[in-house]
Amino acid sequence: MYSRKSAAFIISFLVVLTPICKSHAEGQDNQNKEGSVLSLVDAEKWAIQNSYDSKISEVFIEGFDQKIKSIGSHRYPKLVVEGSYKYLETVPALTTMSGTVYLGDNKNYSIGPSLVYNLFDGGVLRNTIKSLKKLKVSKELDRDYVHAMVLFAVRLAYLNVLLAEDQLQLAKEGLKLSQTQNLDIKKKRRLGASSELELSLSNRDLFNQKLKWLEAENFLKKAAIDLSKLIFGSGEEKVYVPKRSSMGWGVLVDFDSLEKIIQYLDLTLTQQKKPPAQVSSLEMKVASSRMEADIESSKYWPQLSLKLRSSLDYPNGPQLEEINQNSISVNLTMPIFDWGEISGAKAEKLFQMRAYEEKKAKLERDIFINTQKLKVELENLKAQKDIVNQLVLESTKVADINLKSYKSGRVQFIEVERANVRKFEAQTKELILKGQIFAKLSQWIAISSGGLNE
């Protein structure tokens, strides 16, 4: 279903991340109201609840329950109705001194209930049920893997909304500052205290800030749509937007802060104790294949069954009349020579088991390599955090100093513009860094709990 590759995730406020697991949801009568909170935990819960892939997994598990129930019914006697009809062209006859005695009739039939019970099958039924139970556990673990991928997708979608919302706030602040500076320069220009070049530079900066604001608003809308559709389904008309954005569009709700959900993911990662669901699923498939090989071995044993029958038969020997007949029979079958049918089937199951073992070993190796890479990347990103924070502080300080110097006439406006650009770049870098930390944590959790995206 999937091909294993090391995933590389680039978090950018300009790019909406593509979810690894695409989950389309059905509409839900949710409890979220306008003005309430859309926490990451709630988003995860609703995304799993509405995920088509999750629903498909549940259906498969229910199907295995019914199959186990069906196979298990062979433990008990079966009550059936049996009937037969046969027409004989030549009726057997016996010639005696007194004449010819016919030993039957052209028409022959028998009908009645039978009770059939398998007394001994060498363990075929027992091993079949055990194998199916292992496969059911494997399907449950496949469902856990699907849940892990759905959680990964909704976490990235939630992250995109937060990054887009923070980017919108930066764009608003930049636009507000640019408008204030533009008005100030226009006043100075009318008084002859500012040059035409400075006015043009200010106008250019204002237009750029307006474009950034429009782009940021557009990215926030798209990110909010992606998240809402992932959570609530294609039939959901409402789109949930962070209240802090103050947009006159969508349903405004409070979102968790980026710092809060990073702490939440850190805690989730430390609490992860079980092996990845993909690995455990393959372990169950190995066990199931081993039991399937045992099933084939069991077929070398005799198969013994008992039948009790009560029937209405015609004719009653030479007497052309119906008769009620009760009978009991024991049937035994045992393979003596089958041209390798059983041994070949057993070998196929053992090779299948080996294939699952090799696949499991490869998966464990790939998961280990990927988690080690993620660990190194996270350590590096967290090491950058303090540096980037200092960069933002210093860039903000430089921008403020340049603005004051411009107002006092010591520098030209181009220096103010340049400092504002550097400040914006530093703030953007801070956002990207937080997003990368969140994404790497989400990926690590997805791999540790579910496995690799195949």
> Cβ of 93: how many Cβ atoms within 10 Å?
13
Tell me the domains of the chain and their CATH numbers. 37-75+125-301+358-449 (1.20.1600.10)
Distance CA 95, CA 114 (A): 36
pLDDT value of position 14? 28
- Residue 270, token pair as written in the block: 């430390």
pLDDT value of position 26? 36
pLDDT value of position 66? 94
Angle between helices 124-191 and 277-298 (to 10 degrees): 160
pLDDT value of position 447? 92
Please check whether residue 277 is in contact with residue 452, taking contact to mean a CB–CB distance below 8 angstroms: no
Please check whether residue 231 is in contact with residue 43, taking contact to mean a CB–CB distance below 8 angstroms: yes
Q: How far is CA 182 from CA 165, 194, 397, 401, in A?
A: 25, 11, 21, 18
Please check whether residue 198 is in contact with residue 412, taking contact to mean a CB–CB distance below 8 angstroms: yes
Distance CA 287, CA 137 (A): 11
Minimal CA–CA distance to 90: which of 77, 99, 100, 82? 100
Distance CA 134, CA 292 (A): 11
Distance CA 184, CA 177 (A): 11
pLDDT value of position 20? 30
Collapsed DSSP state (helix, strand, coil) of residue 17 = coil
Distance CA 389, CA 12 (A): 18
Mean pLDDT by 10 residues, the chain (454 residues): 34 32 36 65 91 91 93 94 93 83 90 95 93 94 93 92 89 86 84 81 88 90 89 69 76 86 88 89 95 93 95 90 93 92 94 95 93 92 90 90 82 80 87 90 90 74
Q: How far is CA 204 from CA 40, 90, 425, in A?
A: 40, 111, 18
The single residue listed with the structure tokens 């209930």 is: 113
Minimal CA–CA distance to 62: which of 143, 128, 174? 143
